Amino acid sequence: MNDKIITGKKGEDLAAEFLTAEGFFIIERNFRFGKYGEIDIIAIKDKLLIFVEVKSRGSSVYGGALYSINRRKKNIYRLVAGHFLRINRQYLSKDFLFRFDLISLENGRVEWVDDIIR
């Protein structure tokens, strides 16, 4: 495994621990929709279902993690989340709220940005 994969896996583990400590239950990790893409973490707390992108960065030299979420990536997240909901129909109810969040791990610091797609 290369360093980038190891760093990403560690970042996802830390993000999952962070969300669990915040009271979320992790439903899925690395949920893939074929060749289209994946969502790092899908979690739920009460009636809030979140689709989480995790970014591990050594520095913010290139604008930080939030700047890596462009229109193309947002469309991929929507597509993959839609696939998740089609096969997990129990969440397709007016009772549930859905949100796309970002957890950034930079220099040992966790930053949680909610609602990155509007």
The pLDDT of residue 56: 82
Residue with tokens 């993690």: 65
Q: Give residue-wise pLDDT tens across range 16-46.
A: 999 999 999 999 999 999 999 999 999 999 9
Sign of the Cα pseudo-torsion (16, 19, 57, 75, in order): positive
Q: Which of 16-20, 47-51, 55-59, 72-76 has the lowest mean pLDDT?
A: 55-59
pLDDT digits (tens, 9 = 90+) for 80-117: 999 999 999 999 989 999 999 999 988 778 889 999 88
Dihedral angle over CA of 105, 106, 108, 113, nearest 10: -40
Rounded-to-integer distance, Cα 40 and Cα 77, Å: 10
φ, ψ dihedrals at 29, nearest 5°: -130, 140
pTM of the model: 0.90
Sequential DSSP letters for 52-92: EEEEEES-STTSTGGGG--HHHHHHHHHHHHHHHHH-GGG-
**24 secondary structure, DSSP code:** -
| Residue type for position 10 | K
Q: How far apart are CA 96 and CA 47, in angstroms?
A: 5
Q: What domains can be seen in the chain, in order of their start residue?
A: 3-113 (3.40.1350.10)
Token pair recorded at residue 88: 């997990």
